[in-house]
Amino acid sequence: MALTKIMTETSVSASSSPYQLKPDQTLRAANALLKKMQSENTSRTSPSGVKDLLDDADDRAEEPVWLCFTTKKYISDERRFKPGKIRLPHPLITIPSTSPSSPSTDTDSIPSTRICLITADPQRKYKDLISSPSFPSGLRPFVSRVLGITKLKARYKSYELRRQLLAEYDIFLADDRIVTLLPKILGKVFYHSGAKRPIPINLQGKKHSKDAAGEKRKTLAQGGTKAERDEVKPESIAREIETALSSALIMINPGTNTSVKVGMTGMKVENVVENINVVVNGVVEKHIPNGWRNIKGLYIKGPKTVALPIWVADELWEKEGDVLEKEPEKVTGKKRPGLKSLALKGAGLKRGAEVLEEEEETAPVAKKSRKSLESESGNTDKEEKVGKKARKDDLKRRKEEAKKALTEPLS
């Protein structure tokens, strides 16, 4: 499908209902985008019908569909390394059921998705939990490696080793207790693009909300005790992994743009649209300040396509108070320079430093009115004028004596 036709199908006017998506608009945009991406993923041929030898099979793999948010004001003032999670009705990654009673898969077959789980110490504890019979056998082959943070620091110090680790696995999961330490350990290899940033999961037992007396537990700031937790179980770890793999991740960074992966080219259009609706509602309610009032536009796009709009705001401002009824008046005329700037402008660096010192010593005098300063400095000005005139008269007298000496004949 030609690109111009796609843009014609998805042209958007300002939304008449500014706080909800138009179902027909979202469906048309998603349908046009998937057709365009699927046509580009097919085998490329030359005009004569001969297959392009430069065509790479990896380029024809499934590509992601991104939902792009543009806001009127910054989403956040600081960078966050813990992404937000929104459970998708149609996950992007196909994973087996986490039920222990689910039929086991062939352990000799290589799973399509390889997961590296980064844990707090000791890592042996979590290896034993994943190897436990209570852990779902269908999910176990996907967890290819369990790596403790101490071993991660010791083994992957160089840039090349980190790149090798990044290329070896498809998804990285990390204990949420140590996820904020990983940017310094893994470096820009993992955090430059964000495609394989470690996803935080909870590897601890359930927290008790009540104390031993059965009352609601007080926080440490309120004088309470530290929360107690149950012992972590294999089933809870499996549920956390399943939730992470079936959720859309939103990275909150300073700026007015963010993107969330909501689909793949191999998915049905209806499934992608349903994911878009769920993600829009979740992001607007939980992660964007002031919700829909702060949204400027919503778009969907592929890695190599243009962005197709699905919603555009009527107003370019977030609050009514941001709109000025009158244009602010411009200040005319030049601002009178201060005493310090005049002193430094007329003097050299050395003289400027001396002037500053003198002004600091005579700071109370600077607070007086201009007339009082002029009256106090009047006598000094008269003395300087008298001295200047005397010097001129003396110089004139010496010049006349020199001329007279030259004109007189020698005796």
Tens-place pLDDT, residues 245-298: 899 988 888 888 889 999 999 899 999 999 999 999 999 988 888 888 889 999
Residue 306 lies in a domain: yes
Q: Is the pLDDT at 44 greater than 70, yes or no?
A: no
Task: Name the domain boundary from 188, 217, 245.
Answer: 245
Instruction: Please indicate, yes or no, whether residues 114 and 241 belong to a single structural domain of this protein.
Output: yes
Instruction: Please indicate, yes or no, whether residues 235 and 120 belong to a single structural domain of this protein.
Output: yes
Which residue type sits at 291?
Answer: G
Per-residue pLDDT at 60? 53
pLDDT in tens, 88-123: 999 988 765 555 444 444 444 456 789 999 999 899
Share of the chain above pLDDT 70, in %: 65
Instruction: Please indicate, yes or no, whether residues 269 and 236 belong to a single structural domain of this protein.
Output: no
Instruction: Please indicate, yes or no, whether residues 237 and 266 belong to a single structural domain of this protein.
Output: no
Q: Where are the beta strands (DSSP E) in 331-405?
A: none
CATH code at position 274:
3.30.190.20
CATH code at position 128:
3.40.50.790
Task: Taking residues 22-40, report their average pLDDT.
Answer: 90
Q: How would residue 6 be classed by pLDDT, with cut points 50, 70 and 90?
A: very low
Instruction: Please indicate, yes or no, whether residues 31 and 84 belong to a single structural domain of this protein.
Output: yes
Instruction: Please indicate, yes or no, whether residues 254 and 305 belong to a single structural domain of this protein.
Output: yes
pLDDT mean across residues, the chain: 77
> Measured between alpha carbons, how far is 274 from 89 in angstroms, rounded to an integer?
7
Residue 51 lies in a domain: no
Name the H helices within 132-248. Answer: 149-155, 159-168, 182-186, 188-191, 234-245
Residue 390 lies in a domain: no
Instruction: Please indicate, yes or no, whether residues 148 and 259 belong to a single structural domain of this protein.
Output: no
> Measured between alpha carbons, how far is 176 from 119 in angstroms, rounded to an integer?
9
| Main-chain dihedrals φ then ψ at residue 259, nearest 5 degrees | -130, 150
Residue 54 lies in a domain: no
Residue 318 lies in a domain: no
Task: Name the domain boundary from 221, 245, 269.
Answer: 245
User: Who's near 40: CB < 8 A, 6+ residues apart?
Assistant: 304
Full domain range(s) for residue 125: 94-101+108-206+229-245
Instruction: Please indicate, yes or no, whether residues 233 and 113 belong to a single structural domain of this protein.
Output: yes
More confident position, 409 or 302: 302
Residue 165 lies in a domain: yes
DSSP string, 114-161: -EEEEEPSPHHHHHHHHHSTTS-TTTGGGEEEEEEHHHHHHH--SHHH
Instruction: Please indicate, yes or no, whether residues 238 and 296 belong to a single structural domain of this protein.
Output: no
Residue 84 lies in a domain: yes
Q: Is the pLDDT at 25 greater than 60, yes or no?
A: yes
| Long-range pairs for 35-38: beta carbons < 8 A, 24 or more residues apart | 35/1, 35/6, 36/1, 36/3, 36/6, 36/302, 36/305, 37/63, 37/65, 37/265, 37/302, 37/305, 38/265
pTM of the entire predicted model: 0.65
| Tokens coding 52 | 């392009």
**Number of domains the chain contains:** 3
Instruction: Please indicate, yes or no, whether residues 183 and 119 belong to a single structural domain of this protein.
Output: yes
Task: Name the domain boundary from 189, 216, 245.
Answer: 245
Instruction: Please indicate, yes or no, whether residues 29 and 83 belong to a single structural domain of this protein.
Output: yes
* Geometric angle at alpha carbon 259, from 253 and 261, rounded to 5°: 130
Query: Which segment of 41-55, 329-343, 387-401 scores lowest on mean pLDDT?
Result: 41-55
Per-residue pLDDT at 68? 93
Residue 407 lies in a domain: no
Task: Taking residues 135-160, report their average pLDDT.
Answer: 92
Per-residue pLDDT at 51? 52
- Asked whether 192 and 201 are in contact (CB, 8 A), the reply is no
Q: Before 122, cis peptide (omega within 30)?
A: yes
More confident position, 35 or 333: 35
Instruction: Please indicate, yes or no, whether residues 279 and 177 belong to a single structural domain of this protein.
Output: no
Per-residue pLDDT at 97? 54
Residue that has been written with the tokens 């310094």 in this structure: 184
